[in-house]
Structures are given as C-alpha cells and as structure tokens.
C-alpha cells in the first residue's frame, strides 16, 4: 500500500497544476512519484547532512595534499559533491520504498533522447573542455599545482555526476497506467539536472568572481568563456526540457477539484422609483 502525507498531496497538486493537469486529490501513485522530488523534508535528513560534513572534511584533506598553489575552489567542489550525493542517496531510498508497492519497468526511451543534444554538449564541454584547459595550463605556465588540483576536482566532479546520471538513466520507471508513466518520464527529465554539468564549473566561477583565484592571468579570459559556454548550453537544455514536459497528456491524474460555491447572487441595480 502506498502511504503519502498531506504535505505530499499538496505538493503533488501544485506540480500537476504547473503541468496543465489541476486536480483536487491526486492518485496515491502519482503523489508518491512526485514526492521523490523533495526527499529531504523530514526523511533521512541526517544522512544528507552527513554527506555534506564528510565532503567538507575531504576538502580539507585535498587542500593539504596539494599544499600552496592549489585552487581555492576545492571547498566548493566538495560541498557540491556532498549535496549531490546526499540528495541522490535519499531519492534512491524513496524509490526503493516505492518499488515495494508500485509496478516498475525498464526505461523505454534511450538515454540520449532523455538527455538531449544540448545537455550532452554541455556535459562534454564541462569535463572534456575543462581537462583540455587544465592540460594547457600545466604545459604552458608555471602554475602546475593549480592545474593539477583543478584537473583532479574536475575528475571527481565527473565521477560524482556520472554515478548520479547513470543511476537516473538506468533506474526503473514506476507506473501502473499511462498517466503515472507520463509523470515518471517528466520527473526523470527533471532529475537529470541533479547531475548538471554546471556543478562542475560553478565553484570555479565563484573563485574567479571573488577575485582570490590563483589561476594564471593569461588563462582568465579562456576560463571565463569556458564557464559561460557551459552555463549557456545547460540553460538552453533546461528550457527545451521544460517546453517538452510543460504539459502532461490528458488523463486521470486524480479526483477533480470541487467546484467553488459562487455564493448568493446580489442585485446591484439601483432601486426603482
């Protein structure tokens, strides 16, 4: 039996209304599916913060390993890893709970169709493009410690995002009917942004904006352009996914909302004489 809370029912109503299917009482399966979007509220919160705390400690060890000259963005990267993996761990736990009471089937869409060309382009640019920049920095400047430390963070970011992305793309799709399957497909398109390539460049951007970065001055324009290109590609990808799943197909997603009482009609015409 699928158990959902009143708060999860409310969130499901809002989500369905945003996707063109307003209902008064969503079905339990649809509510449970949508509830996996916000997994930290009251369930497994301690695990989430445990991931973040461990990531903070790992960042300190990473900086000690490289010593002076390493990128100062390491703390931002590791905190991002903790948030990303913590959220994904709790989402997986919620989905395992759902597996016991909801039918599941393999994904019907190929992974490249789920991601889309713009997402794939941002993914390749963020990690392959970043690796090329780090390599060029290593061989053409004396700031080799910075280059190697940043390349290591890019590799860890790719590993973290890759684990999450593979789990999302290879995970089962829950659904008992056309409506719940449509919701599951729309939610999967949202979840891939938990592994957004922007997470691989955001800490670097913060380091550069704060003005305390140790990156070579001659590489500053290249790195700024690299960050801007990744963000732009990811923004286009997000807009295309949003347009694709903005409206759910017609169907029964729950009980319709009750009609509002129009109240007692009032005669506002002026009194006769």
Please give the pLDDT value at position 35: 86
**Domain for residue 71, yes or no?**
yes
**Domain for residue 159, yes or no?**
yes
**Domain for residue 262, yes or no?**
no
Q: Please check the confidence at residue 143 and state whether its pLDDT lies above 70.
A: yes
Segment 152-158 mean pLDDT: 96
The rounded distance, in Å, linking the Cα atoms of 117 and 84 is 23
- Which range scores top for mean pLDDT: 34-43, 67-76, 203-212? 67-76
| Contact predicate 241/249, CB 8 Å | no
The rounded distance, in Å, linking the Cα atoms of 94 and 43 is 9
**Domain for residue 210, yes or no?**
yes
**Domain for residue 146, yes or no?**
yes
Q: How far is CA 253 from the centre of its chain?
A: 24
Structure tokens at 46: 């301690």
Segment 149-164 mean pLDDT: 95
The boundaries of the domain holding residue 19 are 7-106+113-251
Segment 6-35 mean pLDDT: 89
**Domain for residue 259, yes or no?**
no
pTM of the model: 0.87
Least confident piece of the model among 81-95, 173-187, 206-220: 206-220
Mean pLDDT of the chain: 88
Segment 205-225 mean pLDDT: 85
Please give the pLDDT value at position 273: 43
Domain count, the chain: 1
Q: Please check the confidence at residue 38 and state whether its pLDDT lies above 90.
A: no
Distance spanning both ends of the chain, measured CA to CA: 68
Please give the pLDDT value at position 65: 92
Q: Please check the confidence at residue 37 and state whether its pLDDT lies above 80.
A: no
**Domain for residue 127, yes or no?**
yes
Q: Please check the confidence at residue 13 and state whether its pLDDT lies above 50.
A: yes
**Domain for residue 270, yes or no?**
no
Structure tokens at 103: 């039918």
Segment 112-139 mean pLDDT: 96
- pLDDT per position as a tens digit, 233-260: 999 999 999 999 989 999 999 888 776 5
């Amino acid at each position: 039996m699928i158990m959902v809370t009143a708060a999860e029912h409310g969130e499901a109503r809002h989500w369905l209304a945003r996707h063109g299917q307003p209902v008064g009482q969503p079905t339990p399966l649809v509510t449970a599916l949508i509830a996996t979007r916000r997994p930290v509220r009251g369930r497994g919160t301690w695990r989430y913060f445990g991931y973040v705390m461990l990531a903070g400690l790992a960042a300190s060890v990473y900086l000690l390993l490289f010593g002076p000259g390493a990128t100062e963005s390491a703390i931002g990267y590791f905190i991002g890893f903790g948030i990303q993996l913590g959220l994904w761990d709790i989402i997986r736990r919620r989905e395992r709970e759902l597996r016991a009471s909801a039918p599941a089937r393999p994904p019907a869409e190929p992974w490249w169709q789920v991601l889309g060309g713009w997402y794939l382009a941002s993914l390749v640019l963020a990690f392959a493009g970043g690796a090329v920049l780090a390599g060029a920095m290593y061989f053409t400047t004396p700031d080799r410690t910075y280059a190697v430390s940043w390349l290591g963070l890019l590799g860890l970011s790719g590993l973290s995002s890759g684990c999450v992305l593979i789990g999302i793309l290879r995970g089962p799709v829950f659904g008992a009917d056309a409506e719940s399957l449509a919701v599951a497909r729309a939610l999967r398109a949202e979840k891939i942004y938990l592994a957004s390539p922007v997470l691989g460049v955001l800490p670097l951007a913060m380091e550069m904006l704060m003005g305390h970065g140790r990156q070579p001055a001659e590489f500053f324009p290249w790195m700024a352009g690299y960050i801007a290109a990744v963000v732009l590609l990811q923004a286009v990808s997000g807009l295309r996914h949003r347009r694709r799943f903005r409206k759910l197909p017609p169907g029964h997603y729950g009980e319709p909302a009750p009609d509002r009482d129009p109240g007692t009609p009032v005669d506002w015409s002026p009194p006769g004489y």
